[in-house]
Amino acid sequence: MDFSLGEVLQHFTAATWAIAITLTVMSVASVGVALNRLIYFMRAKKQSQLFAEQVAGSLNKAEVDKILGASGAEEFKFSYLARIVRDGLVDARDLKSKGQDLTDLSTVESAMGRSLAEEAEGMRKWMTILATVSSTAPFVGLLGTVFGIINSFKGMEESEGAGLAAVAGGISEALIMTGFGLVVAIPAVWLYNWANANIDGFLSEMGNNASEMLDWIKKNKAAV
């Protein structure tokens, strides 16, 4: 019995091929989501850093119009910091335009909280794919294993014996599908944990940004 991959693949049934194709699609999807999140995280981080550098002087001088202008610039459309700052300042100005003296900034805090929640939702986009792949790929591989074992029994029945040649193809098929499921699932788990760790870091930073912006508004009520 030849145990080469090519020989084993010849023993694959239609059901086994369907499982193999499913696992391949799951693997491609998980890698695609990870790359998408990596690009998104890099853009958000870079643009937020650039925004902070650009408005640092305006914040020191309490130049609210310049800060709002920069926060709406196209170059900062992926910046979570720009959105938090803009929503906080816009809500504070709205309060002031209604004659309030900005002693109660609970609505401003809520506005920035909503921005933070929406940014978090954007960062978690497609994450369900990673979670699904990491949790279900082993079971999909196990289903392929079942088909491989069934194929082994069919081989035994057809050859009317239990020799190695009768079952080797099906057993090899079963083991390959088990391994394939794990090969797909393990990287998906790593990528899911990596993405979640990054999102947690961003959420912590955004929470600090919102808190700092609220303190800035309290200290610069007249400028708002």
Location of structure tokens 């009317």: 160
Contact, 224 vs 89, CB < 8 A? Answer: yes
Residue 12 within any structural domain of the chain: yes
Q: Provide the domain limits for residue 21.
A: 5-219
| Residue 125 within any structural domain of the chain | yes
Amino acid at 69: G
**Residue 30 resides in a domain:** yes
Alpha-carbon dihedral of residues 54, 55, 61, 65, nearest 10 degrees? 120
Task: Tell me the per-residue pLDDT of 108-133, one tens digit each, with 9 for 90 and over.
Answer: 999 999 999 999 999 999 999 999 99
Tell which residue, 72, 107, 63, 121, has the closest CA to residue 214: 107
The answer to whether position 139 is within a domain reads yes
Output DSSP code: residue 75: G
Structural domain includes residue 53: yes
The answer as to whether 136 is a domain residue is yes
Residue at 52 is within a domain: yes
Q: Residue 4: how many CB atoms within 10 A of its CB?
A: 9
Task: Provide the residue-wise pLDDT of the chain in tens; the chain has 224 residues.
Answer: 444 555 556 667 788 889 999 999 999 999 999 999 999 999 999 999 999 999 999 999 999 999 999 999 999 999 999 999 999 999 999 988 888 877 888 999 999 999 999 999 999 999 999 999 999 999 999 998 888 788 777 766 666 555 555 555 667 777 888 999 999 999 999 999 999 999 999 999 999 999 999 999 999 988 88
Give the total number of structural domains in the chain: 1
Residue 224 lies inside a defined structural domain of this protein? no
